[in-house]
Amino acid sequence: MTTPATPVRRLLDRFLCRGTVEAVDDLTPRMRRIRITGESVRGLAWVPGQHVRLQVGDLFPNFGNALRTYSVWDYAGDGRLDLCILDHPEGGPGARWARDVTVGQEVAFTRPEGRLVIHDDAPYQLFVGDETAAVAFGAMLRALPASARVFGLLEANGPDDRLPLPRELTWVYRDAEPLTTALEALDLPAEPGVAYIAGEARTCQAVRRHLVRDRGWPRKTAIVKPFWAPGKRGMD
């Protein structure tokens, strides 16, 4: 006998988009790209930089571990959505899901949302973050006109972790130089631009503090999106 759907389950069924994994490939040794296609993937209202919540486990009874947030690497309105998921030794449900996902597998995710999006009225754009931020930054950089002035710093373990980006940003490596130290030395125009700061939570706070306190940027020009924190459940 079929168990009747609960009101919460019916609500989630309406809330989640559904698709099929069309392709899985590695953009770097630790970054896996997963392409999702399907009829309900068509016509989503996506702005470059936004994210989706991907279902990586059973919604019931362990709802807290069922959904994980990932930036959209690329999207085509004809029904193609690309996500990139970073693998790491302490990876949680999302990283484990990405290791095991296969072509043809059905997946569910929420509609795109988020405020980490381009502000094209700024005199220039500054991108600061780590490997996790590079996914959103890649989509945002592709959306910028060729004439846009762009500066940026990205932190990674090493050269193998560099995602292919449409603009040349400066990469720094953790064992060689902290991201905040590299930012202090970065030659920027005298006037503030707009900064997109994403990645590890405490590093994001330090980057914003430097821009506001040391460089005199208005707080509203520093858009911060922490993606993860050491030991923080649900931010993998």
- CA dist 110 and 53 (Å) reads 5
- CA dist 120 and 145 (Å) reads 9
The residue type of 214 is D
pLDDT of amino acid 236:
47
- CA dist 98 and 31 (Å) reads 9
pLDDT of amino acid 73:
98
DSSP state string for 69-114 = EEEEEEEETTTEEEEEEE--TT--HHHHHHHH--TT-EEEEPPPB-
3-state DSSP assignment of residue 135:
helix
- Identical fold between 7-109 and 125-228: no
pLDDT of amino acid 39:
95
- pLDDT tens per residue across span 143-180: 999 999 999 999 999 999 999 999 999 999 999 999 99
- pLDDT tens per residue across span 67-122: 999 999 999 999 999 999 999 777 789 999 999 999 999 999 999 999 999 998 99
- CA dist 138 and 148 (Å) reads 15
Is there a contact between 20 and 37 (Cβ–Cβ < 8 Å)?
A: yes
Q: For the whole prediction, is pTM greater than 0.75?
A: yes
Q: 28-32, 55-59, 88-92: which has the highest mean pLDDT?
A: 28-32
Domain ranges in the chain are: 7-109, 125-228
Token pair in block for residue 46? 């996506």
Is there a contact between 87 and 79 (Cβ–Cβ < 8 Å)?
A: no
Torsion sign over Cα 229, 28, 164, 155? positive
Question: What DSSP designation does 63 have?
Answer: G
Q: How far apart are the first and last CA of the chain?
A: 37
Q: How many helices (H) and strands (E) does the chain have?
A: 5, 11
Identify the CATH assignment for 7-109 out of 2.40.30.10, 3.40.366.10, 3.40.50.2000, 2.40.50.100: 2.40.30.10
Is there a contact between 18 and 38 (Cβ–Cβ < 8 Å)?
A: yes
Has domain 125-228 been given CATH number 3.30.70.1060?
no
